[in-house]
Protein backbone atom coordinates (compact mmCIF):
# COMPACT_ATOMS: atom_id res chain seq x y z
CA UNK A 1 0.00 0.00 0.00
CA UNK A 2 0.99 3.65 -0.32
CA UNK A 3 1.86 5.74 2.72
CA UNK A 4 0.99 9.41 3.15
CA UNK A 5 4.18 11.02 4.49
CA UNK A 6 5.04 14.62 5.27
CA UNK A 7 7.45 16.45 7.58
CA UNK A 8 4.57 16.63 10.08
CA UNK A 9 3.42 12.99 9.93
CA UNK A 10 6.16 10.53 9.13
CA UNK A 11 7.35 7.01 9.93
CA UNK A 12 10.35 6.39 12.16
CA UNK A 13 11.39 2.75 12.40
CA UNK A 14 8.05 1.84 10.78
CA UNK A 15 6.06 3.70 13.46
CA UNK A 16 3.98 6.80 12.65
CA UNK A 17 4.93 10.03 14.39
CA UNK A 18 3.33 13.45 14.56
CA UNK A 19 6.27 15.86 14.53
CA UNK A 20 8.51 14.46 17.29
CA UNK A 21 5.83 12.47 19.11
CA UNK A 22 5.10 8.79 18.76
CA UNK A 23 1.39 8.36 18.16
CA UNK A 24 1.45 5.18 20.22
CA UNK A 25 2.76 7.15 23.20
CA UNK A 26 -0.05 9.68 22.81
CA UNK A 27 -2.71 7.00 22.54
CA UNK A 28 -1.59 5.31 25.73
CA UNK A 29 -2.81 8.43 27.52
CA UNK A 30 -5.84 9.39 25.42
CA UNK A 31 -7.25 6.17 24.00
CA UNK A 32 -9.08 6.00 20.67
CA UNK A 33 -10.68 7.30 18.60
CA UNK A 34 -8.73 10.55 18.88
CA UNK A 35 -7.89 13.55 16.73
CA UNK A 36 -4.22 14.57 16.65
CA UNK A 37 -3.03 17.90 15.20
CA UNK A 38 0.39 19.25 14.25
CA UNK A 39 0.67 22.82 15.51
CA UNK A 40 3.60 23.57 13.23
CA UNK A 41 1.57 22.57 10.19
CA UNK A 42 -0.98 25.28 11.07
CA UNK A 43 1.75 27.87 11.47
CA UNK A 44 3.74 26.93 8.36
CA UNK A 45 0.70 26.95 6.05
CA UNK A 46 -0.38 30.36 7.36
CA UNK A 47 3.09 31.83 6.87
CA UNK A 48 3.39 30.31 3.39
CA UNK A 49 0.15 31.92 2.23
CA UNK A 50 0.93 35.19 3.99
CA UNK A 51 4.33 35.44 2.31
CA UNK A 52 2.89 34.67 -1.13
CA UNK A 53 0.75 37.83 -1.01
CA UNK A 54 3.36 40.14 0.51
CA UNK A 55 3.31 42.38 -2.58
CA UNK A 56 -0.12 43.73 -1.66
CA UNK A 57 -1.90 44.96 1.45
CA UNK A 58 -3.70 41.91 2.78
CA UNK A 59 -4.96 40.06 5.84
CA UNK A 60 -5.66 36.38 6.42
CA UNK A 61 -8.83 35.50 8.34
CA UNK A 62 -8.92 31.86 9.39
CA UNK A 63 -12.31 30.25 8.59
CA UNK A 64 -13.19 28.90 12.03
CA UNK A 65 -15.83 26.50 10.67
CA UNK A 66 -13.10 24.16 9.45
CA UNK A 67 -11.80 23.53 12.98
CA UNK A 68 -13.10 25.61 15.89
CA UNK A 69 -11.04 24.15 18.72
CA UNK A 70 -9.99 27.00 21.01
CA UNK A 71 -6.30 26.12 20.82
CA UNK A 72 -6.41 25.99 17.02
CA UNK A 73 -8.04 29.42 16.82
CA UNK A 74 -5.50 30.79 19.28
CA UNK A 75 -2.62 29.37 17.23
CA UNK A 76 -3.65 31.55 14.30
CA UNK A 77 -4.48 34.58 16.46
CA UNK A 78 -1.05 34.41 18.10
CA UNK A 79 0.71 34.74 14.72
CA UNK A 80 -1.41 37.71 13.66
CA UNK A 81 -4.36 36.12 11.89
CA UNK A 82 -7.94 37.26 12.03
CA UNK A 83 -10.92 34.91 11.99
CA UNK A 84 -14.05 34.46 9.94
CA UNK A 85 -16.99 33.21 12.02
CA UNK A 86 -20.32 31.83 10.90
CA UNK A 87 -22.39 31.75 14.09
CA UNK A 88 -22.65 33.29 17.55
CA UNK A 89 -20.98 30.18 18.96
CA UNK A 90 -17.96 30.57 16.69
CA UNK A 91 -17.81 34.28 17.55
CA UNK A 92 -17.79 33.58 21.27
CA UNK A 93 -15.02 31.02 20.81
CA UNK A 94 -12.90 33.59 18.96
CA UNK A 95 -13.49 36.22 21.64
CA UNK A 96 -12.70 33.71 24.40
CA UNK A 97 -9.16 33.14 23.10
CA UNK A 98 -8.55 36.87 22.72
CA UNK A 99 -9.00 37.53 19.00
CA UNK A 100 -9.37 41.33 18.72
CA UNK A 101 -12.87 42.47 17.72
CA UNK A 102 -11.51 44.32 14.69
CA UNK A 103 -9.97 41.07 13.41
CA UNK A 104 -13.29 39.22 13.23
CA UNK A 105 -15.64 39.00 10.25
CA UNK A 106 -19.16 37.62 10.69
CA UNK A 107 -20.39 35.54 7.74
CA UNK A 108 -23.42 33.34 7.11
CA UNK A 109 -26.46 33.15 4.88
CA UNK A 110 -28.94 32.92 7.76
CA UNK A 111 -27.87 35.15 10.63
CA UNK A 112 -30.43 35.57 13.39
CA UNK A 113 -31.52 38.85 14.96
CA UNK A 114 -29.42 38.06 18.03
CA UNK A 115 -26.35 37.23 15.96
CA UNK A 116 -26.51 40.52 14.08
CA UNK A 117 -27.08 42.36 17.35
CA UNK A 118 -24.02 40.85 19.06
CA UNK A 119 -21.89 41.46 15.96
CA UNK A 120 -22.81 45.14 16.13
CA UNK A 121 -22.39 45.35 19.90
CA UNK A 122 -18.92 43.82 19.64
CA UNK A 123 -18.01 46.27 16.86
CA UNK A 124 -16.56 43.61 14.57
CA UNK A 125 -14.57 44.53 11.49
CA UNK A 126 -17.38 43.63 9.11
CA UNK A 127 -20.66 41.79 8.72
CA UNK A 128 -21.07 40.04 5.39
CA UNK A 129 -24.65 40.41 4.16
CA UNK A 130 -26.15 37.81 1.81
CA UNK A 131 -29.61 39.17 0.96
CA UNK A 132 -31.61 42.37 0.70
CA UNK A 133 -33.79 41.37 3.64
CA UNK A 134 -30.71 40.81 5.77
CA UNK A 135 -29.48 44.32 4.95
CA UNK A 136 -32.86 45.73 6.01
CA UNK A 137 -32.55 43.91 9.33
CA UNK A 138 -28.93 44.97 9.88
CA UNK A 139 -29.92 48.59 9.25
CA UNK A 140 -32.90 48.26 11.61
CA UNK A 141 -30.81 46.80 14.46
CA UNK A 142 -28.02 49.33 13.91
CA UNK A 143 -30.58 52.14 14.14
CA UNK A 144 -31.94 50.79 17.43
CA UNK A 145 -28.40 50.52 18.83
CA UNK A 146 -27.44 53.92 17.46
CA UNK A 147 -24.53 52.35 15.59
CA UNK A 148 -23.20 52.33 12.07
CA UNK A 149 -22.84 48.80 10.74
CA UNK A 150 -19.76 48.04 8.67
CA UNK A 151 -21.02 45.74 5.94
CA UNK A 152 -19.67 43.89 2.93
CA UNK A 153 -22.09 42.35 0.45
CA UNK A 154 -21.42 38.78 -0.59
CA UNK A 155 -21.76 38.61 -4.34
CA UNK A 156 -22.54 35.34 -6.10
CA UNK A 157 -20.48 35.60 -9.31
CA UNK A 158 -22.01 32.48 -10.95
CA UNK A 159 -18.63 30.83 -11.44
CA UNK A 160 -18.25 27.05 -11.47
CA UNK A 161 -15.52 26.09 -8.97
CA UNK A 162 -15.35 22.52 -10.35
CA UNK A 163 -15.75 20.91 -6.96
CA UNK A 164 -18.24 18.64 -5.19
CA UNK A 165 -21.79 20.08 -5.55
CA UNK A 166 -22.30 20.07 -1.77
CA UNK A 167 -19.37 22.46 -1.28
CA UNK A 168 -19.93 24.64 -4.35
CA UNK A 169 -21.18 28.06 -3.25
CA UNK A 170 -20.63 30.48 -6.15
CA UNK A 171 -23.11 29.26 -8.77
CA UNK A 172 -26.45 30.92 -9.49
CA UNK A 173 -28.21 27.80 -8.20
CA UNK A 174 -26.50 28.05 -4.79
CA UNK A 175 -28.12 29.70 -1.77
CA UNK A 176 -25.22 32.02 -1.02
CA UNK A 177 -24.88 35.73 -1.72
CA UNK A 178 -26.73 37.98 -4.15
CA UNK A 179 -26.42 38.25 -7.92
CA UNK A 180 -24.46 41.07 -9.54
CA UNK A 181 -27.41 43.34 -10.49
CA UNK A 182 -28.85 43.07 -6.98
CA UNK A 183 -25.46 43.83 -5.41
CA UNK A 184 -25.01 46.98 -7.50
CA UNK A 185 -28.55 48.12 -6.65
CA UNK A 186 -27.96 47.66 -2.91
CA UNK A 187 -24.60 49.41 -2.90
CA UNK A 188 -26.07 52.44 -4.62
CA UNK A 189 -29.14 52.73 -2.36
CA UNK A 190 -27.22 54.56 0.35
CA UNK A 191 -30.14 56.74 1.41
CA UNK A 192 -32.18 53.62 2.13
CA UNK A 193 -29.65 52.19 4.55
CA UNK A 194 -28.61 55.18 6.63
CA UNK A 195 -26.99 53.13 9.39
CA UNK A 196 -24.90 50.98 7.08
CA UNK A 197 -21.38 51.80 5.96
CA UNK A 198 -20.44 49.65 3.00
CA UNK A 199 -16.79 48.85 3.63
CA UNK A 200 -16.26 45.78 1.48
CA UNK A 201 -17.28 43.36 -1.23
CA UNK A 202 -17.05 39.62 -0.75
CA UNK A 203 -17.10 36.33 -2.61
CA UNK A 204 -16.68 32.68 -1.68
CA UNK A 205 -17.19 30.38 -4.64
CA UNK A 206 -16.71 27.01 -2.98
CA UNK A 207 -14.38 24.67 -1.17
CA UNK A 208 -11.63 22.24 -2.21
CA UNK A 209 -10.95 24.10 -5.47
CA UNK A 210 -7.93 22.63 -7.24
CA UNK A 211 -7.30 25.12 -10.07
CA UNK A 212 -6.77 28.88 -9.98
CA UNK A 213 -8.99 29.61 -12.99
CA UNK A 214 -12.31 29.81 -11.07
CA UNK A 215 -10.72 32.28 -8.63
CA UNK A 216 -9.36 34.39 -11.48
CA UNK A 217 -12.75 34.48 -13.20
CA UNK A 218 -14.60 35.43 -10.02
CA UNK A 219 -12.06 38.03 -8.91
CA UNK A 220 -12.17 39.64 -12.37
CA UNK A 221 -15.98 39.87 -12.15
CA UNK A 222 -15.94 41.35 -8.67
CA UNK A 223 -13.11 43.76 -9.45
CA UNK A 224 -15.23 45.26 -12.25
CA UNK A 225 -18.01 45.90 -9.74
CA UNK A 226 -15.52 47.30 -7.25
CA UNK A 227 -14.05 49.76 -9.75
CA UNK A 228 -17.46 50.81 -11.11
CA UNK A 229 -18.65 51.55 -7.57
CA UNK A 230 -15.49 53.55 -6.98
CA UNK A 231 -16.33 55.72 -10.00
CA UNK A 232 -19.72 56.40 -8.41
CA UNK A 233 -18.09 57.62 -5.21
CA UNK A 234 -18.51 54.37 -3.25
CA UNK A 235 -15.00 53.66 -2.00
CA UNK A 236 -14.77 50.20 -0.48
CA UNK A 237 -11.90 49.40 1.87
CA UNK A 238 -11.96 45.61 1.66
CA UNK A 239 -11.97 43.14 -1.22
CA UNK A 240 -12.65 39.69 0.22
CA UNK A 241 -11.82 36.74 -2.05
CA UNK A 242 -13.00 34.17 0.49
CA UNK A 243 -11.42 30.76 0.87
CA UNK A 244 -11.69 27.45 -0.93
CA UNK A 245 -8.04 26.63 -1.71
CA UNK A 246 -7.86 22.89 -2.28
CA UNK A 247 -5.60 20.45 -0.48
CA UNK A 248 -4.25 17.01 -1.27
CA UNK A 249 -6.43 14.15 -0.08
CA UNK A 250 -5.65 11.64 -2.83
CA UNK A 251 -2.95 12.71 -5.28
CA UNK A 252 -4.84 15.81 -6.44
CA UNK A 253 -2.77 18.34 -8.40
CA UNK A 254 -2.94 21.29 -6.04
CA UNK A 255 -1.78 24.79 -6.94
CA UNK A 256 0.73 26.39 -4.60
CA UNK A 257 0.21 29.66 -2.70
CA UNK A 258 2.79 31.30 -4.98
CA UNK A 259 0.87 30.16 -8.09
CA UNK A 260 -2.34 31.46 -6.51
CA UNK A 261 -0.80 34.82 -5.70
CA UNK A 262 0.86 35.15 -9.11
CA UNK A 263 -2.51 34.69 -10.84
CA UNK A 264 -4.45 37.13 -8.62
CA UNK A 265 -2.06 39.90 -7.61
CA UNK A 266 -2.06 41.66 -11.03
CA UNK A 267 -5.86 42.00 -10.77
CA UNK A 268 -5.89 42.92 -7.09
CA UNK A 269 -3.17 45.58 -7.39
CA UNK A 270 -5.53 47.73 -9.49
CA UNK A 271 -8.01 47.99 -6.62
CA UNK A 272 -5.75 49.80 -4.15
CA UNK A 273 -7.45 48.37 -1.07
CA UNK A 274 -7.02 45.77 1.66
CA UNK A 275 -7.39 42.24 0.31
CA UNK A 276 -8.86 39.61 2.62
CA UNK A 277 -8.32 35.87 2.31
CA UNK A 278 -10.39 33.37 4.32
CA UNK A 279 -8.75 29.94 4.15
CA UNK A 280 -9.98 27.16 6.39
CA UNK A 281 -9.33 23.74 4.88
CA UNK A 282 -6.00 24.89 3.42
CA UNK A 283 -4.73 25.77 6.89
CA UNK A 284 -6.13 22.82 8.80
CA UNK A 285 -6.96 19.69 6.75
CA UNK A 286 -3.54 18.09 6.55
CA UNK A 287 -2.64 19.30 10.03
CA UNK A 288 -4.80 16.58 11.57
CA UNK A 289 -5.44 12.85 11.65
CA UNK A 290 -8.03 10.64 13.29
CA UNK A 291 -6.61 7.56 15.02
CA UNK A 292 -8.83 4.49 15.35
CA UNK A 293 -8.25 1.06 16.84
CA UNK A 294 -9.22 -2.16 15.08
CA UNK A 295 -12.01 -3.92 16.99
CA UNK A 296 -12.60 -6.89 14.70
CA UNK A 297 -11.92 -8.19 11.22
CA UNK A 298 -14.17 -10.48 9.24
CA UNK A 299 -14.99 -11.77 5.78
CA UNK A 300 -18.56 -11.74 4.43
CA UNK A 301 -19.10 -13.35 1.02
CA UNK A 302 -15.39 -12.98 0.19
CA UNK A 303 -15.45 -9.29 1.15
CA UNK A 304 -13.03 -8.11 3.86
CA UNK A 305 -14.20 -5.81 6.63
CA UNK A 306 -12.05 -4.01 9.18
CA UNK A 307 -14.26 -2.79 12.02
CA UNK A 308 -12.73 0.11 13.96
CA UNK A 309 -13.82 2.20 16.95
CA UNK A 310 -14.16 5.42 14.89
CA UNK A 311 -17.44 5.91 13.08
CA UNK A 312 -19.42 8.24 10.86
CA UNK A 313 -20.35 10.30 13.90
CA UNK A 314 -16.61 11.00 14.42
CA UNK A 315 -15.81 11.70 10.75
CA UNK A 316 -18.84 12.07 8.50
CA UNK A 317 -17.20 13.32 5.30
CA UNK A 318 -16.84 9.88 3.67
CA UNK A 319 -20.52 9.13 4.31
CA UNK A 320 -22.05 12.41 3.10
CA UNK A 321 -19.57 13.50 0.42
CA UNK A 322 -18.02 10.20 -0.58
CA UNK A 323 -14.86 12.02 0.49
CA UNK A 324 -11.54 10.20 0.29
CA UNK A 325 -9.29 10.05 3.34
CA UNK A 326 -6.12 8.04 3.05
CA UNK A 327 -5.91 5.37 5.76
CA UNK A 328 -2.68 3.72 6.84
CA UNK A 329 -1.35 1.73 9.80
CA UNK A 330 0.25 3.45 12.75
CA UNK A 331 2.70 0.54 12.82
CA UNK A 332 3.95 -0.84 9.51
CA UNK A 333 4.33 -4.62 9.62
CA UNK A 334 6.20 -5.72 6.52
CA UNK A 335 5.36 -9.37 7.17
CA UNK A 336 1.65 -8.62 6.63
CA UNK A 337 0.21 -8.74 3.14
CA UNK A 338 -1.99 -6.02 1.64
CA UNK A 339 -5.69 -6.71 1.27
CA UNK A 340 -8.71 -4.87 -0.12
CA UNK A 341 -11.20 -4.08 2.63
CA UNK A 342 -14.02 -1.81 3.75
CA UNK A 343 -13.02 0.11 6.87
CA UNK A 344 -16.20 0.59 8.88
CA UNK A 345 -17.36 1.77 12.27
CA UNK A 346 -19.72 0.47 14.97
CA UNK A 347 -22.68 2.75 14.14
CA UNK A 348 -25.82 0.94 12.98
CA UNK A 349 -25.95 2.44 9.48
CA UNK A 350 -24.74 0.96 6.21
CA UNK A 351 -23.41 4.43 5.51
CA UNK A 352 -21.04 4.13 8.46
CA UNK A 353 -17.73 3.73 6.66
CA UNK A 354 -14.40 5.50 6.51
CA UNK A 355 -13.29 3.81 3.29
CA UNK A 356 -14.55 1.22 0.83
CA UNK A 357 -12.54 -1.31 -1.18
CA UNK A 358 -9.36 0.20 0.20
CA UNK A 359 -5.93 -1.34 -0.29
CA UNK A 360 -4.48 -1.64 3.19
CA UNK A 361 -2.12 -3.69 5.33
CA UNK A 362 -3.85 -6.76 6.75
CA UNK A 363 -4.92 -5.92 10.30
CA UNK A 364 -5.66 -7.73 13.51
CA UNK A 365 -7.63 -6.79 16.60
CA UNK A 366 -5.85 -4.08 18.60
CA UNK A 367 -3.95 -2.52 15.68
CA UNK A 368 -4.16 1.23 15.16
CA UNK A 369 -5.10 2.94 11.90
CA UNK A 370 -4.55 6.59 11.00
CA UNK A 371 -7.17 8.41 8.95
CA UNK A 372 -5.21 11.18 7.26
CA UNK A 373 -6.20 14.74 6.26
CA UNK A 374 -8.79 14.93 9.05
CA UNK A 375 -7.94 18.33 10.52
CA UNK A 376 -10.71 20.17 8.67
CA UNK A 377 -14.43 19.38 8.98
CA UNK A 378 -13.67 16.38 11.15
CA UNK A 379 -14.20 17.16 14.81
CA UNK A 380 -16.37 20.19 13.97
CA UNK A 381 -18.93 17.98 12.19
CA UNK A 382 -18.85 15.19 14.77
CA UNK A 383 -22.07 14.18 16.53
CA UNK A 384 -23.37 12.00 19.36
CA UNK A 385 -25.28 9.62 17.10
CA UNK A 386 -25.88 6.27 18.84
CA UNK A 387 -25.14 8.20 22.07
CA UNK A 388 -21.43 7.97 21.26
CA UNK A 389 -18.99 10.32 22.92
CA UNK A 390 -17.08 12.68 20.66
CA UNK A 391 -13.30 12.10 20.50
CA UNK A 392 -10.60 14.05 22.30
CA UNK A 393 -8.31 16.43 20.41
CA UNK A 394 -4.56 16.54 20.90
CA UNK A 395 -2.13 19.26 19.79
CA UNK A 396 1.50 18.30 19.13
CA UNK A 397 4.33 20.81 19.11
CA UNK A 398 7.72 19.25 18.46
CA UNK A 399 8.35 16.52 21.03
CA UNK A 400 5.50 17.45 23.37
CA UNK A 401 1.73 17.27 23.24
CA UNK A 402 -1.29 18.44 25.17
CA UNK A 403 -4.91 17.40 25.24
CA UNK A 404 -6.83 20.43 24.00
CA UNK A 405 -10.25 18.80 24.30
CA UNK A 406 -11.15 15.86 26.52
CA UNK A 407 -13.21 12.94 25.37
CA UNK A 408 -16.80 13.63 26.33
CA UNK A 409 -18.04 11.94 29.47
CA UNK A 410 -21.27 9.98 29.57
CA UNK A 411 -22.53 12.55 32.08
CA UNK A 412 -22.11 15.17 29.37
CA UNK A 413 -24.50 13.21 27.17
CA UNK A 414 -27.20 13.59 29.82
CA UNK A 415 -26.58 17.32 30.26
CA UNK A 416 -29.77 19.40 30.23
CA UNK A 417 -32.01 16.40 29.65
CA UNK A 418 -34.87 15.87 32.11
CA UNK A 419 -37.21 13.04 33.08
CATH number for the domain that contains residue 150: 3.20.20.10
Same domain, 294 and 275: no
Same domain, 265 and 310: no
Kind of pairing between the strands at 368-371 and 327-329: antiparallel
Asked whether residue 261 is assigned to any structural domain, the reply reads yes
49 falls in which pLDDT band (50, 70, 90)?
very high
Same domain, 214 and 339: no
The per-residue pLDDT for 342 is: 98
Asked whether residue 171 is assigned to any structural domain, the reply reads yes
Closest C-alpha among 203, 201, 182 to residue 132 = 182
Asked whether residue 234 is assigned to any structural domain, the reply reads yes
CATH code for the domain in which residue 304 is found: 2.40.37.10
Asked whether residue 120 is assigned to any structural domain, the reply reads yes
Last residue of a domain, one of 239, 264, 279: 279
Same domain, 192 and 269: yes
Mean of pLDDT values over 181-191? 91
Same domain, 164 and 245: yes
Catalytic residue among 18, 273, 336, 348: 348
pLDDT tens digits, one per residue of 228-286: 999 999 999 999 999 999 999 998 889 999 999 999 999 999 999 999 999 999 999 99
The per-residue pLDDT for 153 is: 96
Closest C-alpha among 60, 108, 79 to residue 243 = 60
Closest C-alpha among 80, 174, 183 to residue 129 = 183
205 falls in which pLDDT band (50, 70, 90)?
confident
Same domain, 378 and 271: no
Same domain, 376 and 336: yes
Last residue of a domain, one of 238, 259, 279: 279
Last residue of a domain, one of 249, 279, 309: 279
Same domain, 145 and 186: yes
The per-residue pLDDT for 166 is: 43
Percent of the chain with pLDDT over 90: 89
Same domain, 22 and 147: no
pLDDT tens digits, one per residue of 220-233: 999 999 999 999 99
Closest C-alpha among 381, 293, 383 to residue 345 = 293
pTM score of the predicted model: 0.94
Mean of pLDDT values over 348-362? 96
Same domain, 198 and 316: no
Asked whether residue 272 is assigned to any structural domain, the reply reads yes
Structural domains of the chain, count = 2
Asked whether residue 64 is assigned to any structural domain, the reply reads no
Asked whether residue 319 is assigned to any structural domain, the reply reads yes
Strand partners, 201: 153, 239
**Enclosing domain of residue 206:** 107-279
The question of whether 348 is a catalytic residue gets the answer yes
pLDDT tens digits, one per residue of 286-344: 999 999 999 999 999 889 999 999 999 999 999 998 999 999 999 999 999 999 999 99
Mean of pLDDT values over 355-371? 97
The per-residue pLDDT for 183 is: 93
Asked whether residue 1 is assigned to any structural domain, the reply reads no
Same domain, 272 and 307: no
Report d(CA 392, CA 404) in Å as an integer. Answer: 8
The per-residue pLDDT for 190 is: 82
Q: Residue 233: which residues within 8 A CB-CB, separation 6 or more?
A: none
Residue 73 predicted with pLDDT over 70: yes
Least confident of 155-164, 186-195, 212-221: 155-164
Same domain, 15 and 133: no
Alpha-carbon dihedral sign for residues 131, 64, 34, 408 = negative
pLDDT tens digits, one per residue of 126-138: 999 999 999 999 9
Q: Residue 251: which residues within 8 A CB-CB, separation 6 or more?
A: none
The per-residue pLDDT for 115 is: 98
Residue 161 predicted with pLDDT over 60: no
The per-residue pLDDT for 170 is: 41
Amino acid sequence: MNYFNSKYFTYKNNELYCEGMSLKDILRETGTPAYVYSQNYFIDRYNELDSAFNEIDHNIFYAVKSNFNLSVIKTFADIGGGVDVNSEGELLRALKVGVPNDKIIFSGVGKTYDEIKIALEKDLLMIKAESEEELVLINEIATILNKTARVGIRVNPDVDPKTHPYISTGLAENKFGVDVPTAIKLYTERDRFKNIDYTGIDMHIGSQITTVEPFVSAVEKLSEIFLNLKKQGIKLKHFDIGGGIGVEYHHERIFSPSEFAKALIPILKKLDCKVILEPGRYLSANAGILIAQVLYTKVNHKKNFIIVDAAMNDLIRPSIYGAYHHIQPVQINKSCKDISADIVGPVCESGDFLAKDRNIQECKRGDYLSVMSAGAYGSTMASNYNARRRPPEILVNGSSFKVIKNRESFEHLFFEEYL
